[in-house]
């Protein structure tokens, strides 16, 4: 006996078949090292090994899937409740294994190489996060959303971030240039070169990193080199909600060098380190602060 199926029943069967196919379709993305990361299904138990990664996972809609994170993973506030698995200097590998993750997101230059190698030996999928340019943050959120099965939330967060950056670029990038020295540390005196994302932020705001051409990524410079560069603004990170292990250096020592334009015009600016140092969506807020500070520097020029 033959049964005749209605068009509605056929449609339902086709929909069920497609849903089943999608449920079992592998997810593949490329991480920031160029390596391919493939999951058989969206990750359900994720460990973050950097504070900026934790922020991106929450922004991408995957906060509920976080089962472990490192120290200083403190944003959003609920991230403080996620179990700790060490810090960027020392990971608790036994704890990581016990949490049974199906995805670990690693900070390539922050997590110790020896321990990263041991993580590989666990044969748990690793996604390496190392955003270098402003748009890499949006790209990372989109990729994490794919791995977590939260693409709608991740894509919306990426769009919102890109919109904020686009507004800042439209308003500030073509303003008269301001030469900037970004101080990372004072003893030894350290800065950032043009490959660092903060240099991108400086350019976004219509600034120019006076040490952009130096090597390596975080070069050590002399006081004499800063005097010779004569920046119009000196910028550093200030403690935000996250209190560092040791006090961040201030810019007070520069006040003795009254010949530097930045000092003569009182263009010494400190920006919330949580916003400017972490390559995460809140970098847009840090960029806004920097853009406003460089505008203050412009207003202090003769004739204004």
Percent of the chain residues past pLDDT 90, beyond the cut: 78
Q: What residue spans define the domains of the chain?
A: 26-160, 173-299
pTM: 0.87
The pLDDT of residue 10 is: 47
Phi, then psi, of 165 in degrees rounded to 5: -65, -40
Q: Can you tell me which residue has the tokens 């203050």?
A: 296
Task: Assign domain 173-299 to a CATH class.
Answer: alpha beta
- DSSP letter, residue 84: B
| Helix axes 197-204 and 283-299, enclosed angle (nearest 10) | 50
Task: Report the CATH number of the 26-160 domain.
Answer: 3.40.50.1980
Strand partners, 39: 27
Per-residue pLDDT of the chain (304 residues; tens, 9 = 90+): 444 445 555 445 445 444 444 445 899 999 999 999 999 999 999 999 999 999 999 999 999 999 999 999 999 999 999 999 998 778 999 999 999 999 999 997 766 678 888 888 888 999 999 999 999 999 999 999 999 999 999 999 999 999 999 999 999 999 999 999 999 998 899 999 999 999 999 999 999 999 999 999 999 999 999 999 999 999 999 887 665 555 566 799 999 999 999 999 999 999 999 999 999 999 999 999 999 999 999 999 987 6
Asked if the domains 26-160 and 173-299 are classified in one and the same CATH topology, the answer is: yes
234-251 pLDDT, tens digit per residue, is 999 988 766 555 556 679
CA pair distance 3, 276, nearest whole angstrom: 67
Using DSSP, state whether 293 is helix, strand or coil: helix
Query: Nearest 5 degrees, angle CA 279-CA 282-CA 285?
Result: 120
């Amino acid at each position: 006996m033959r049964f005749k199926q209605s068009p509605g029943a056929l449609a339902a069967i086709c929909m069920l078949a497609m849903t089943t196919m999608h449920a079992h379709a592998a997810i593949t993305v490329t991480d920031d090292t160029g390596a391919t990361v493939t999951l058989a299904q969206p990750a359900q138990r994720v460990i973050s090994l950097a504070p900026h990664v934790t922020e991106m996972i929450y922004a991408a809609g995957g906060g509920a899937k976080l089962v472990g994170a490192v120290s200083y993973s403190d944003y959003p506030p609920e991230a403080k409740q996620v179990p700790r698995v060490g810090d960027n200097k020392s990971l608790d590998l036994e704890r990581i294994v016990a949490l049974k993750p199906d995805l670990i997101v690693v900070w390539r230059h922050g997590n110790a190489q020896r321990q990263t190698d041991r993580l590989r030996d666990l044969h748990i999928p690793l996604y390496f996060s190392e955003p270098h340019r402003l748009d890499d943050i949006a790209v990372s959120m989109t990729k994490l959303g794919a791995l977590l099965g939260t693409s709608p939330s991740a894509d919306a967060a990426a769009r919102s971030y890109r919109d904020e950056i686009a507004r800042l670029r439209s308003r500030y990038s073509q303003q008269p240039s301001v030469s900037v020295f970004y101080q990372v540390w004072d003893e030894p005196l350290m800065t950032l070169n043009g490959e660092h994302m903060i240099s991108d932020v400086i350019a976004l705001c219509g600034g120019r990193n006076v040490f952009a051409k130096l090597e390596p990524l975080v070069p050590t410079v002399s006081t004499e080199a800063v005097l010779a560069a004569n920046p119009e603004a000196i910028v550093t990170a200030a403690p935000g909600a996250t209190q560092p292990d040791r006090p961040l250096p201030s810019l007070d020592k520069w006040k003795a060098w009254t010949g530097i334009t930045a000092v003569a015009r009182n263009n010494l600016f400190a920006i919330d380190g949580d916003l400017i140092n972490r390559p995460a969506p809140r970098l847009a807020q840090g960029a806004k602060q920097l853009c406003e500070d460089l505008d203050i520097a412009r207003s202090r020029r003769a004739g204004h």
